[in-house]
């Protein structure tokens, strides 16, 4: 047991895996108390796992990254970006060296293949608690603005906005896709790009609108709908604000 901390200051752990037997096995078999840890919560899918993490703000996370319908790397990047102090160990049956390397570059402490041996789990836990011991106890460590996880999330958000700009897209939907909170995604976009979510969304819609305006067969109202505006007048106002001319005037100059 670590000597330089009070015994009561246990590190909180969250366990996430879509195989409930693995979660329960980890919870019962590992000597958590022997490493000054306690299991604060368990979850069997990415959504409930994210909820548990935001509720308990754990120091350590053991998680699978190949859960149904989820992008494991984006999930890892989102967690590292929003909770930079949290130590993450990945448990997976996905035997791909390049994938493991990308996960490690995003800040994962350990990448463990299932079934993991007890000595591997113990070593990973010892490594993560040692890393936490070195951090200031009274404040959270901040990642630098150009960290791999933060940059990864910004790229994922921009790509998702570009792909879905024609739909009724919300900041919450993009944040959910990136496994971060709305507040944290807004902060990252402002810090890395100097833009808000709506700046990016409107810019992408205007880019697409100008492409469509080159087709004289399309009415302005049809273009507005295709790029995500239910109200043609609103579309025209946004277009003129950003481009300096109305959609019709732009078409006349570029037709």
The pLDDT tens digits for 65-76 are: 877 666 678 888
Is-contact 85 141, C-beta < 8 A? yes
Token couple for 236: 């025209």
Question: Above 50 in pLDDT, residue 1?
Answer: no
Q: Does 13 have pLDDT greater than 50?
A: yes
At 202, the pLDDT band (50, 70, 90 cuts) reads: very high
Q: Could you tell me the pLDDT band of residue 94, with boundaries at 50, 70 and 90? A: confident
CA Rg value for the chain = 23
Report the alpha-carbon distance of residue 178 to residue 176 in Å, rounded. 5
Lookup result for tokens 């009415």: 219
> Which residue is it, tokens 């929003």?
82
pTM: predicted TM-score of the whole model, two decimal places: 0.77
Q: In which region does residue 57 sit, left (phi positive, over 0), alpha (psi from -120 to 50) or beta (all else)? A: left
Domain 11-133 listed as CATH 3.40.50.2300? yes
Does residue 5 have a pLDDT over 70? no
| pLDDT score recorded for residue 7 | 46
Domain spans in the chain, listed from the N-terminal domain onward: 11-133, 196-255
pLDDT score for 66: 74
* Residue 23 pLDDT > 60: yes
Per-residue confidence at 8, pLDDT binned at 50, 70, 90?
Answer: low
Q: Is the pLDDT of residue 146 over 50?
A: no
Q: What is the pLDDT of residues 35-57, one digit of tens each?
A: 999 999 999 888 888 889 989 99
Q: Indicate if the pLDDT at residue 4 is higher than 70.
A: no
Mean pLDDT of 228-250: 93
Q: Is the pLDDT of residue 129 over 80?
A: yes
Is cis: bond before 115, omega within 30 of 0?
A: yes
Angstrom distance (rounded) from CA 198 to CA 171: 8
Residue 186 confidence (pLDDT): 95
Structure tokens at 247: 């959609």
Handedness of CA 145, 74, 50, 33 (dihedral sign): negative
Residue-level pLDDT at 200: 96
pLDDT at 240 over 90: yes
Q: What is the DSSP string of 163-226?
A: HHTTS---HHHHHHHHTS-HHHHHHHHHHHHS--HHHHHHHHHHHHHHHHHT-TTS-HHHHHHH
Please state which CATH class domain 196-255 belongs to.
mainly alpha
Mean pLDDT of 23-35: 91
Q: Write down the pLDDT at residue 255.
A: 64
């Amino acid at each position: 047991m670590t000597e330089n901390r009070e015994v009561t200051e246990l590190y909180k752990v969250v366990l996430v895996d879509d195989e409930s037997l693995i979660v329960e096995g980890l919870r019962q078999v590992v000597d958590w108390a022997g490493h000054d840890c306690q299991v604060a919560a368990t979850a069997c899918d990415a959504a409930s796992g994210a909820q548990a993490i935001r509720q308990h703000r754990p120091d350590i996370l053991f998680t699978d990254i190949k859960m149904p319908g989820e992008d494991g790397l984006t999930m890892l990047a989102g967690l590292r970006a929003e909770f930079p102090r949290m130590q993450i160990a990945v448990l997976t049956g996905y035997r791909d060296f390049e994938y493991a390397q990308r996960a490690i570059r995003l800040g994962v402490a350990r990448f463990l293949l299932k079934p993991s041996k007890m000595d591997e789990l113990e070593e990973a836990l010892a490594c993560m608690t040692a890393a936490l011991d070195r951090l200031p106890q009274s404040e959270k460590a901040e990642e630098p603005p150009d960290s791999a996880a933060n940059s990864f999330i910004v790229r994922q958000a921009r790509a998702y906005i570009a792909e879905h700009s024609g739909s009724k897209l919300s900041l919450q939907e993009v944040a959910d896709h990136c496994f971060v909170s709305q507040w944290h995604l807004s902060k990252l976009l402002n810090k890395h790009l100097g833009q808000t979510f709506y700046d990016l969304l409107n810019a992408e819609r205007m880019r697409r609108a100008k492409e469509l305006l080159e087709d004289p067969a399309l009415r302005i109202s049809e273009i507005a709908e295709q790029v995500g505006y239910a109200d043609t007048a609103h579309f025209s106002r946004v277009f003129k604000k950003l481009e300096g001319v109305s959609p019709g005037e732009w078409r006349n100059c570029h037709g």
